[in-house]
Structures are given as C-alpha cells and as structure tokens.
C-alpha cells in the first residue's frame, strides 16, 4: 500500500510597493495618473493535488479596491478555508516573472529602481519572508504573467482543445498572447508587445474621459452604447491599426518620450485633445463629444479583437476560444465575437483580471493533474459569510429564516419592489457577484435600476445593471450564442424581441444585457429565488449587482454585508440564516410570510 502525500501550492498576485514608488518618484500626480501602474489586484489561491480549493482577493480584507499590497490576509484565509497549516505548503508561486526584463531596466533611473525594488523576482521571496515568516523556508517561484492568465482560461473552460487568447494592459513584455490548448498542453503561437496593447489603450481613453484607469473601464463601455462612433472613427483608425497576420499596432501609445510622459500618457492625451475632444476632468460635465469618443474607442477595440481572432482561428482551425486578461472583461466585445459566427464556443472565466493569475501561478507549479478542473470551481472560492457577523446591539428588526423559507420570502418581497441584500455561503472570486454576495431587485421596473444606482450603490445613473436568469430559461429571454458559457456575467447579449419591456431595469441602451445564467447545481439557493419569482410573476429574471456601495469592495463577511445594509437604502438583508429589515420594510416582510411561516418565525422575532 502506497501512502499518498498531497501537494499544496499557494499562488498569489500583486506587486507590493508599485504605487508608492511611483508617487515618490513623480510627485504631483493626480489620482488618475497615480492609477497607471502594474501589479494591481493582489490575491491568493490554493491548489491541492491539482484541485483549486480556495481563492480570495486582498481587497476583501483591506477594504481598498484593487489593492496591490502583498496578500498576506488572503494567503492566511486560503489556508484556513482548506483546513491546512503553513507547514503543509509545498510551493509558493507568483504571477510575474521579470527575470528576463533586467536588461531593459538599465537606462533611466526610475526603470532601474522599479526593477530593483518591485520587479526583481528575488524581491518576492523577500516579501514572503517579511509578511509570512512561517513560510520562510520557501523561495517564490516566478510564473510568466500571460502563462498564468492562459491557464486560468484553458483549464476551467472544459475545452479539450481551444484557442487561448490573453489580452491585457501589459505582462512582463507582452500585451497580447495567443496559445493553442490541446491535451492539457499550452503552446504559444504569438506574442505582441506593449505597442499592441489594447488594455493600455482603453485605459488611456478611460483616463481622457475623466475616469480612473485600471478601474473604470466598464464606465467607458457603458457610455459607448449612448454615442455615435462615426464622429471619431477616423481618429481611432489612426490610433489603433490592424496589420497583416492578425497583428495590431497602437501608435498612440508611442508618443510619450520622457519618463513622466510614459507614466502619465501625457503626450497621448494631448494628441487626443487635438484630434478628438478636450480631456474631461473628474467631476466635469460629460458632453456628447466625450460619449462619442467612448463609442469610437469601444468600436475600435471590437474591430481589433475580431481582426486578431479571424487570423488565428483561420490559421489553427480552433473555433473554441478561452479568454483571459483585463480586456476579456469587455463583455460587449466578447458578446459580439461570440455571435459573429467566427467561433463555435466562448469562455471567459470570472476572474479574468490579474487576481485570477494567482490561480494561474498555482496551476503552473502544481502540475498536470489540473487538467481535471472544471468551470464551477472558479466561482465560489472565498470565505463563508459567517466568518464575522453584525454587532450584537444592531438596531434593526430581525427574524431567523430557514433555508427554503428565506428564498420564498425574498421572492415575494422583490415582487413588492423591495431591494434585498442576499449574503450566503462562500464569497465569489473575481469582480462579479454571482448570487452569494448580491443586491437583488425586480427587473420589471426601470425605476428599480435608478433607485439601486442612486440610493443603494451611489453611482452614475447611466450604469447598467445585470440580469440573473434561470439557466433553463436563458434562451427564451436572451439571444445566447451557441457554445457560450453564460455562468459568470462576462458576456453581453441581445435581449429577445418583445422581452426588453418586460425586464426594462436590466436592458442597456443598446438592447443588450450582461447575463448570468444560474444553474441549479451551481447555486441551488439563488436558483430557488429565481424559480419562486417566476412562479409569482412569470419572469425568471432578477436584477443582480454586487453587495457593496461605490468605492468599496464586495462584502466579504457578515459584518461587511451588514454595514452595506445599514449605510444604504437596502430594505432587507438576508444574512446567513437571519433576515434584517429597515422599519419601513417590516410590514412587507410580515405580509410576505404565510400563516405557517409566520407562526414559526414571528414567535421568536427580536426588535
């Protein structure tokens, strides 16, 4: 008999100190300029015997969105969730390998300092020993950034063979990488450097339009639906060029000659002001010029991705595509590719940004056993909501609600126009709330979107909100391209004719919606809310957005979910096995309970 010794690999992402070094070297940066650095989205992930068992972003502990700090809290959390100790860890892997970049960092002083203090792989081992002394026996294994991205797309996709496409701002040297995935093996086919970076280009437009780069790109994508791309189409054709053999070139990025200009895109922004429209400062009026520029930028990115894919699908014959990288979260572009007829199937994993490369780094080191991992494992990977709870002296009306009762009560409350926080089970990994840390509302009332944006999320009124739909009904309500994985709210698709007016709150200005198809096997409790809501209304769709307010990460533990409830206009929060209600919502909760439920629940209510 042979004893089996499990293999435990801890992966992580982030470049500790990046923002601090940039600010110290370039004083006077505004908040948007300071956001232009590599290494955001620090996270940790744990792979045991090839199976992904835990993953969580550091921001969920620090409260700093897109936090780049060394993810010590996230590492501890992953081990705790798995019931393991530091002594069980066999290897630690990081999501960058800048060992081959040293030669490019010998010119300017800032480049030298950045390599020595941030990028040098040896620096990660120093940080590991400083922040995690109980792992001091380990040296960190560096993993090439795009390989880490690619593994998080290929492995969970479930495809036995596929084209794997990574499109982001910048890895070590590359901004776009194309791989073939066959029989569990990645083979790199092409790599384009920063001069082809669609991610940096989109970040530049985000900045020019008055938003935060590496953060607010989804606002530009939302604005694009309201504009006319023809106004600046010629400008974008000069800014982003499609070349033979699927190659891309972004001359707009090469205009910046000094370290300051390169770190702020100053010359590129001047070019846009001269050729298109004035730069919008944060808080300034949003003009039609700005909206049209957003529309032209979005259109050009879509054209560039189609150009890239057309070549490589034709050359390889691989018609299933798995995407990763920040640009893969451009759900509008992905939706158009999926519906184009160019490909047969599309997969975008839910943590396509740099947080996901913590998983990819662990996969790269853990070995070939990972070929058995399938997509549900990339969703509910964080700590349980019961990790922490509301204060003992919380002032709100509350009652215990058992599983089964809670889902029915929530569905009934939603039919009355109430907005409900739903915090259950393990936290989602990545930027999307997928039914465990969600704010839910009735999609039939367009006013519900305005209320959630203004009074709950405290954000711009033009921002669309996404629908969650029972997977069995998705094709009845949305035009879902065949082979497209809709589980993760990563693809925008058209709403079927005649259905848009029935779910007006979740339909964007261009007639599309960023859909989450909810499978009963993946999340039975969330599915049951949808099922009950359909029984009551005939609509198997709900508005679903993340349980947080503007500027805050999605709630991790019960205490954070409760703070979101208390500080916003949420009517009700169902947190674990307890329901909390604001005073004005109490009568609605009592009406939502049947006689049998009322006898069980209200007999033990607390005030």
Query: What is the CA angle 374-375-376, rounded to 5?
Result: 100
If you average pLDDT over residues 551-566, what whole number do you get?
Answer: 94
If you average pLDDT over residues 537-562, what whole number do you get?
Answer: 94
Residue 202 has pLDDT above 80, yes or no: yes
If you average pLDDT over residues 289-310, what whole number do you get?
Answer: 98
Confidence at residue 606, expressed as pLDDT on a 0 to 100 scale: 43
Is the torsion defined by CA of 299, 304, 308, 310 positive or negative?
positive
Confidence at residue 450, expressed as pLDDT on a 0 to 100 scale: 84
Residue 602 has pLDDT above 90, yes or no: no
Mean per-residue pLDDT of the chain: 93
Please name which of 98, 139, 143, 104 lies closest in space to residue 119, comparing C-alpha atoms: 98
Query: What is the CA angle 17-79-65, rounded to 5?
Result: 40
Residues 69, 53 contacting (CB under 8 angstroms):
no
If you average pLDDT over residues 521-540, what whole number do you get?
Answer: 97
Residues 427, 385 contacting (CB under 8 angstroms):
yes
**pLDDT confidence bin for 534, thresholds 50/70/90:** very high
Cα separation, 424 vs 572, whole angstroms: 14
In the numeric block, the tokens 């992953």 are attached to: 78
Residues 243-280: tens digit of each pLDDT: 999 999 999 999 999 999 999 999 999 999 999 999 99
Please name which of 192, 298, 279 lies closest in space to residue 236, comparing C-alpha atoms: 298
Taking the CB of residue 234, how many other CB atoms lie within 10 A of it? 12
Q: Which residues contact 159 (CB under 8 A, 6 or more apart)?
A: 181, 320, 322, 345, 347
**pLDDT confidence bin for 108, thresholds 50/70/90:** confident
Tokens of 295: 């529309």
DSSP string, 340-386: SSS-SEEEE-TT-SGGGHHHHHHHHHH-GGGGG--GGGGTEEEEEGG
Residues 364-376: tens digit of each pLDDT: 999 754 444 444 4
Residue 555 has pLDDT above 60, yes or no: yes
Confidence at residue 605, expressed as pLDDT on a 0 to 100 scale: 45
Residues 208-243: tens digit of each pLDDT: 999 999 999 999 999 999 999 999 999 999 999 999
The β-bridge partners of 437 are: 423
């Amino acid at each position: 008999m042979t004893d089996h010794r499990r293999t435990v690999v801890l992966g992580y992402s982030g470049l500790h100190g990046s923002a601090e070094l940039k600010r110290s070297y370039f004083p006077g940066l505004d908040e948007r300029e300071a956001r232009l650095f590599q290494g955001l989205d620090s996270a940790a992930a744990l792979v045991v015997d090839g199976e992904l068992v835990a993953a969580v972003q550091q921001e969920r502990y620090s409260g700093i969105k897109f936090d780049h700090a060394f993810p010590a809290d996230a590492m501890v959390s992953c081990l705790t969730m798995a019931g393991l100790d530091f002594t069980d860890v066999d290897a630690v892997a990081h999501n960058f390998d800048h060992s081959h970049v040293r030669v490019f960092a010998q010119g300017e002083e800032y480049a030298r300092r950045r390599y020595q203090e941030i990028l040098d792989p040896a620096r990660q081992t120093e940080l590991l020993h400083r922040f995690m002394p109980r792992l001091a026996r380990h040296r960190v294994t560096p993993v090439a950034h795009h390989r880490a991205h690619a593994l998080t797309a290929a492995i969970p996709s479930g495809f036995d063979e596929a084209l794997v496409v990574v499109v982001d701002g910048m890895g070590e040297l590359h901004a776009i990488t194309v791989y073939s995935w066959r029989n569990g093996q990645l083979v790199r086919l092409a790599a384009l450097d920063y001069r082809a970076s669609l991610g940096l280009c989109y970040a530049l437009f985000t900045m020019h339009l008055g938003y935060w780069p590496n953060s607010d790109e989804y606002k530009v994508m939302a604005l694009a639906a309201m504009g006319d791309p023809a106004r600046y189409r010629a400008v974008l054709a000069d800014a982003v060029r499609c070349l033979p053999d699927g190659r891309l070139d972004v001359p707009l990025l090469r205009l910046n000659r000094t370290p300051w200009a390169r770190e702020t895109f100053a010359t590129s922004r001047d070019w846009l002001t001269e050729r298109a429209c004035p730069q919008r400062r944060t808080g300034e009026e949003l003009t039609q010029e700005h909206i049209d520029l957003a529309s032209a930028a979005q259109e050009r990115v879509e054209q560039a991705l189609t150009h890239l894919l057309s070549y490589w699908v034709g050359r390889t014959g691989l018609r299933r595509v798995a995407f990763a990288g920040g640009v893969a979260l451009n759900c509008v572009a992905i939706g158009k590719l999926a519906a184009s007829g160019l490909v047969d199937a599309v997969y975008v994993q839910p943590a396509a940004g740099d947080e996901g490369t913590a998983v990819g780094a662990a996969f790269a080191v853990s070995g070939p056993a990972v070929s058995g991992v399938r997509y549900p494992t990339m969703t509910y990977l964080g700590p349980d909501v019961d990790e922490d709870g509301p204060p003992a002296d919380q002032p709100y009306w509350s009652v215990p609600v058992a599983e089964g009762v809670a889902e029915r009560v929530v569905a009934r409350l939603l039919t009355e126009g109430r907005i409900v926080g739903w915090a259950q089970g393990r936290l989602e990994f990545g930027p999307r709330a997928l039914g465990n840390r969600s704010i839910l509302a009735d999609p039939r009332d367009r006013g519900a979107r305005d209320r959630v944006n203004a009074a709950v999320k405290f954000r711009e009124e033009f921002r669309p909100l996404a629908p969650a739909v029972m997977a069995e009904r998705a094709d009845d309500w949305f035009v879902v391209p065949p082979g497209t994985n809709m589980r993760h709210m990563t693809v925008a698709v058209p709403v079927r004719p005649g259905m848009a007016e029935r779910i007006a709150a979740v339909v964007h200005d261009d007639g599309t919606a960023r859909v989450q198809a909810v499978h009963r096997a993946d999340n039975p409790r969330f599915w049951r809310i949808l099922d009950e809501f359909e029984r009551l209304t005939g609509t198997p769709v709900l508005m679903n957005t993340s349980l947080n307010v503007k500027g805050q990460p999605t709630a991790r533990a019960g205490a954070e979910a409760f703070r979101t409830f208390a500080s916003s206009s949420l009517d009700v929060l169902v947190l674990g096995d307890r329901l909390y209600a604001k005073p004005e919502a109490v009568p609605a909760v009592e009406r939502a309970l049947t006689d049998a439920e009322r006898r069980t629940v209200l007999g033990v209510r607390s005030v």
